[in-house]
Amino acid sequence: MVAAELSRLGFIVSPTLRNVQRADLLVTDQLCKRAFSVQVKTNAKTFNFWLLNKKAKELISPSHIYVLVNIRREGKDIEYLVVHSKVISEKMVIEERETSSWYSISYEDVKPYLNNWKIFGNP
């Protein structure tokens, strides 16, 4: 869905191989002058947070973008929160549990980035 939306906006989009851990999509403008890596996180049942990888805290790049997706009402109502990796790093929460750690970002922390496709500039 994110690749389709970026393509609809005029960008060139390519999915990465399954074994690439930190980027799901590679995106460029039509002149191949600006390139982005995109990590997609999707929710279909809980809509107030997204789980992240612990590396999200360290992975800050001017060209690395997260697209957090909420699929509400069986795909009829979709929210895209388009957030720079620096914001994700700053706002992510680390919750220590008995046997593991959870890394997440809350909906409230990224709500201002709803449909923030302008982060990619002009296609």
The domain limits of the chain are 2-120
So what's the pLDDT on residue 45? 85
DSSP, res 10:
T
DSSP, res 45:
S
So what's the pLDDT on residue 75? 58
**What is the value of pTM for the model shown?**
0.92
Please name the fold of domain 2-120: Trna Endonuclease; Chain: A, domain 1 (3.40.1350)
**Helix then strand then coil, % of the chain, to nearest 5:** 25, 40, 35
User: Average pLDDT of 43-64?
Assistant: 92
Question: Does position 112 have pLDDT exceeding 90, yes or no?
Answer: yes
Average pLDDT, the chain: 93
User: pLDDT tens digit string along 2-53?
Assistant: 999 999 999 999 999 876 778 999 999 999 999 999 999 999 888 899 999 9
User: Average pLDDT of 46-72?
Assistant: 93
Residue 2 φ/ψ, nearest 5 degrees: -70, -45
pLDDT-above-70 percentage for the chain: 97
User: Average pLDDT of 50-70?
Assistant: 95
pLDDT band at 91 (very low <50, low <70, confident <90, very high): very high
The CA-atom distances, in angstroms, between 48 and each of 7, 36, 75, 108, 122 are: 27, 26, 17, 7, 30
